[in-house]
Amino acid sequence: MVSELPWDSKTGTLRRDLAEGMMNPACANALEAAFQIKRRYGGDIITITMGPPMAEEVLYEATAMGADRGVLLTDPYMAGGDTFVTSHTLARAIEKECPDFDLVLCGCHTSDSETAQVGPQLAEELDIPGVAYVEQLEINNRTVRMQRLSDNFFETLEMDLPGLVTVTTQANAPRYPSLSVLETAFGKPDISILGAADLGLEPETIGVQGSPTKILDVYSSTAKKKNLIMKGTAKKIVDEVFEKFGDRISGAIKKDLKTHYHEKKP
Amino acid sequence: MNTKKRAIWVFGDYRNYFQNRVTLQLLAKANDLAPKISAEVCAVLFGQGLDQYVAEYIAHGAQKVYVVEHRSLKNYSVEKYAVLLERLANDYQPETILVGATSFGKEFAPRVAKRLGTGLTADCIGLKITEDGLLLQIAPSFGGNLLAEIITPNHRPQMATVRPGTFQEIPHNNELRGEVVRLPIQKDLPEDRVRLIANERQAQRDQRIEDAPVVVCGGRGMGSKKKFKKLFDLADLMGGEVGGTRPVVYAGWLDTDALVGQAGKHIKPKILLSFGISGAIQHTAATTEADFIIAVNKNPNATMMKMADVAVVADASQFCTALIKGLKARIQA
Ligand SMILES: Cc1cc2nc3c(=O)[nH]c(=O)nc-3n(C[C@H](O)[C@H](O)[C@H](O)COP(=O)(O)OP(=O)(O)OC[C@H]3O[C@@H](n4cnc5c(N)ncnc54)[C@H](O)[C@@H]3O)c2cc1C
């Protein structure tokens, strides 16, 4: 479960290295969108992730399902970064590893934080048009047409490639790699592993150090009310609830309630 | 530049004005924070035909409103608005910029922050000023059932997004006065590289869960989709709305737009009935404004039970059935 991810009590950041090497749900949708595009229009799929060494697993998974190659960005200096430095790091890796890209697909958010900030910030870093929360997309020549729901508006948008799209979990049904596919994905998948130095990034500009936001403290909130505990049979508790709070309920639902209630009417 | 008064800016997000009062809520919060750092509260808005919003923002506590009005800004545009806000922030150097975490805000704010080279905290549930005069951004921490206090010590402006419903607006006050600063659109403002082809407003539901006087919320403890359906009968009887937790939405027992929590709707009902919900912070962050909470859980130690006024130790689904029966018998025909 994501909500049980281990914490580093010293830095207050999530120890993603101890978290399971599982693909983030929305990223699985982004990958599925890439497969669909490849099937219809061709192209090479390069998957990129930043994380602890074991994050390589999701790249294996993606390659087994049909991605052409993977890039893992891993370096202790990259750890604990906020979205500002994460998008910076990813952008430099894209420029280095696939400078001629046509389309960058991202999951709209991670399920452990849901900031949804990395995609839009990556578009800024790469200086390309970007659209977030896309539910449908199709490509015509060099134009992408997208649909999404944004604050109660159904929007249809277009942009020319190269561009960036973040995909919601509603966009498609991601395939899951069957065990047999994973097992028969023999041969060494094409995965490059890069650290900060390979990207020419100074440690002060990435990870915890480079992040404009700093975590001061992490604590559990203990808002407790003085409350009334009710036990017994459901019927008995219901009677007690109405006896004690009938007025309040009646006021909220704007209906009169019988105060004296007898189950069997005479 | 140093002679300028410090300022807290609130981005004026008016597209869904009647459904979504997050800008007014942020103006209220900004008014709460501003005296602590002797700052003025400013709203910033872009578009066309904005007079009514300018007046509203002033009546809700904006001491100054920066307005850029132009035909070409009529439709919301992430890229154009981001460039505009970046340039204004560079000119006026606000201490802080607050943006509502609407769909638009969640895409727009990160881009502005990136352009300004500063930090941004998503979905804050609390904002305070530290002893050093910094903006303390309180947000549910990544994945954990914990709150994180975050600051942006060395970069300006300090930026945060806040979900609609997190803070309370101050009542409309026609007596309030504010300065309106109208700025011309810059000639070199780039065209948005994303083109809007069609834009259709979605039909609104009659009653929204955010305003409902009674909310019946269900969690995983309801047991099954079939049992979960009983909550709709209960809500119907009480003239309320049904909401739920993330596992319930993921399981397909409930529509996504009825998710209550950090990633969904904030509610403020007179009565909240909570069935089979553990009370994770991502959920309870959005229920603290309920006047009265009745929680049902078979575990008396669940956090939700501790937050409730009445903690019913029972099977959620059975209790729901009994409550429906009890209500039907008592409602005067
Ligand atoms: C970034 C992020 C964002 C999130 N956003 C949200 C959000 O917006 N909204 C949200 O709700 N969650 C959100 N979550 C998930 C949240 O952390 C919790 O996992 C979720 O709220 C738990 O839902 P639950 O209470 O239904 O399930 P559980 O935590 O599994 O609790 C079930 C409860 O039911 C009780 N129970 C079991 N059987 C019975 C029975 N027969 N009768 C009575 N009680 C019973 C149990 O004792 C338990 O207390 C988010 C998580 C993350 C990481």
Residues B111 and B26 both lie in one domain: yes
Shared-domain flag, residues B92 and B237: no
Q: Which of B139-143, B188-192, B221-225 has the lowest mean pLDDT?
A: B139-143
* pLDDT the model gives residue A21: 64
Higher per-residue pLDDT: A1 or B279: B279
On the question of pLDDT at B182 being above 50, the answer is: yes
State the residue range of the domain holding B252. Answer: 214-332
Query: A84 contacts in B (CB within 8 Å)?
Result: 113-114, 118-120
Question: What residue of B is the nearest CA neighbor of A113?
Answer: B142
Is the same domain home to A254 and A139?
no
Q: Which helix (H) or strand (E) holds A33?
A: helix A25-41
Give dist(CA B98, CA B23) in Å, integer.
Answer: 9
At A10, which CATH number?
3.40.50.620
**Helices (H), ranges, A103-184:** 118-126, 179-184
Residues B227 and B82 in one domain: no
A200 and A244 share a domain?
A: no
How many Å lie between the centroid of ligand 1 and the Cα of residue B260? Answer: 11
- Higher local confidence (pLDDT), A25 or B127: B127
A82 three-class SS = coil
Q: What is the CATH number of the domain that holds B224?
A: 3.40.50.1220
Using a 10 angstrom Cβ sphere, with 0-12 exposed, 13-18 middle and 19 or more buried, the burial of residue B233 is middle
Largest CA distance in chain B: 70
Residues of chain B with C-beta less than 8 angstroms from the C-beta of A224? 306-307
Instruction: Give the A window 234-263 contacts with B, CB below 8 Å.
Output: 234-235, 237-239, 241-242, 245-246, 248-249, 251-258, 261, 263
Task: With a cut of 50, list the residues of chain A below it in pLDDT.
Answer: 1-12, 15, 17-18, 264-266
Kindly state whether residues B25 and B138 are assigned to the same domain: yes
Note whether A17 and A7 are within 8 A (CB): no
Helical H runs in chain B?
22-33, 51-59, 78-92, 103-116, 225-228, 230-238, 246-250, 281-284, 303-307, 316-330
**Any idea how long chain A is?**
266
**B126 — phi, psi (to 5°)?**
-150, 145
Q: CB of B245 within 8 A of CB of B275?
A: no
Do B164 and B69 sit in the same domain of this protein? Answer: yes
Tell me the pLDDT band of B146, cut-offs 50, 70 and 90.
confident
Asked if residues B219 and B212 have their Cβ atoms less than 8 Å apart, the reply is no
Say what the ipTM of the complex is: 0.86
Q: Can you tell me the mean pLDDT for B283-308?
A: 94
pLDDT at B54: 97
pLDDT surpasses 60 at B204: yes
Percent of chain B predicted with pLDDT > 70: 96
In ligand 1, the atom with minimum distance to the C-alpha of A3 is 53
Same domain for A123 and A243, yes or no, is no
A128: in domain: yes
pLDDT at residue number A180: 54
What is d(CA B9, CA A198) in angstroms, rounded to the nearest whole number?
Answer: 40
pLDDT at residue number B184: 95
A111 and A32 assigned to the same domain: yes
Query: ω into residue B153 within 30 of 0, thus cis?
Result: no
> Is the same domain home to B100 and B160?
yes
User: Is A106 in the same domain as A205?
Assistant: yes
Among A228, A248, A257, beta carbon nearest to B330: A257
Q: Which run of H or E residues covers position A96?
A: helix A83-97
Q: Is A84 among the domain residues?
A: yes
Of A195, A13, A246, which is closest to residue B323 (Cα–Cα)?
A246
Share of residues in chain B with pLDDT > 90 (%): 86
- Could you write out the DSSP letters of every residue in B269-308? -SEEEEES----HHHHTTTTT-SEEEEEES-TTSHHHHH-
Whether B190 is covered by a domain: the verdict is no
Q: Which of A71-75, B88-92, B162-166 has the lowest mean pLDDT?
A: B162-166
Enumerate the residues of chain B whose CB falls inside 8 A of the CB of residue A13: 142
> Same domain for B125 and B224?
no
Report the distance separating Cα B179 and Cα A9, nearest Å.
Answer: 47
Pocket test for ligand 1, best of B242, B272, B277 (most atoms within 8 A of CB): B277
What does the mean pLDDT of chain B come to? 94
pTM given for the model: 0.86
* Average pLDDT estimate for B225-233: 97
Nearest to A128 by CA among A166, A97, A156: A166
- Which residues of chain B have a CB within 8 Å of the CB of A7? 141, 144, 146
Question: Least CB-CB distance to B270: which of A114, A225, A252?
Answer: A252
- The domain boundary residue, chosen from B183, B204, B238: B183
pLDDT of residue A257: 87
Q: Single out the residue of B53, B69, B71 nearest to residue B10, CA to CA.
A: B53
Which residues face A14 on adjacent strands?
Answer: A7
Terminus-to-terminus CA distance in chain A, angstroms?
Answer: 55
- Asked whether residue B35 falls in the same domain as residue B174, the answer is yes
What is the domain count for chain B?
A: 2
What integer pLDDT is reported at residue A152 of this predicted model?
Answer: 85
Q: Tell me whether residue B36 is in a domain.
A: yes
In this structure, the answer to whether residues B243 and B118 fall within a common structural domain is no
Task: Name which of A241, A19, A99, A146 is nearest B78 in CA terms.
Answer: A146
Map residue B169 onto helix, strand or coil.
Answer: coil
Residue numbers of the domain that contains A258: 234-264
Position B141 scores a pLDDT of: 79
Q: What number is the average pLDDT over the span B281-291?
A: 90
Q: A167-195: b or e for each residue (b if 16 or more CB lie within 10 Å)?
A: bbbbbbebeebeeeeeeebeeebebbebe
Residue-by-residue DSSP string for A185-228:
--S---EEEE-TGGGT--GGGSHHHH-SSEEEEEE--------E
Residue A203's Cβ-count burial label (10 Å; 0-12, 13-18, 19+) is: middle
Q: Which residue has the tokens 């909130």?
A: A221
Evaluate whether B308 touches B274 at the Cβ level (below 8 Å): yes
Q: Name the residue among A129, A73, A75, A76 with its Cα closest to residue A96.
A: A73
Mutate to test the interface with B, among A131, A153, A204, A208 (most CBs of B within 10 A): A153
* Domain end position, chosen among A210, A226, A247: A210
Residue A189 contacts residue A177 (beta carbons within 8 Å): no
Q: Distance, CA B279 to ligand 1 centroid (Å)?
A: 6
Same domain flag for B25 and B130: yes
A225 in any annotated domain: no
Better pLDDT: A259 or B298: B298
Whole-number Å distance, alpha carbon B236 to ligand 1 midpoint, is 23
CB A125 within 8 A of CB A85: no
* CATH at B76: 3.40.50.620
- pLDDT exceeds 80 at position B12: yes
Q: Searching chain B, which residue's CA lies closest to the CA of residue A241?
A: B310
- Residue A89 near residue A206 (C-beta atoms within 8 A): yes
CB contacts, 8 Å: B293 with chain A: 225
Q: Which of A149, A159, A213, A242 to mutate to test the interface with B (most CBs of B within 10 A)?
A: A213
CA neighbor of A84 nearest in space, from A246, A208, A217, A235 = A208
DSSP B210: T
Number of domains into which chain A is organized: 2
Q: Which pLDDT does position A260 carry in this prediction?
A: 62
Kindly state whether residue B203 falls inside one of the protein's structural domains: no
Query: Tokens 């869960």 — which residue?
Result: B209
Query: CA B33 to CA B136: how far, in whole Å?
Result: 10
B78 vs A260: CA distance, rounded Å: 60
Q: Which of A37-51, B105-119, B136-150, B252-266 has the lowest mean pLDDT?
A: B136-150
**Residue A208 burial (CB count, 10 A):** 18
CA distance to partner chain A, nearest, from residue B117 (Å) = 8
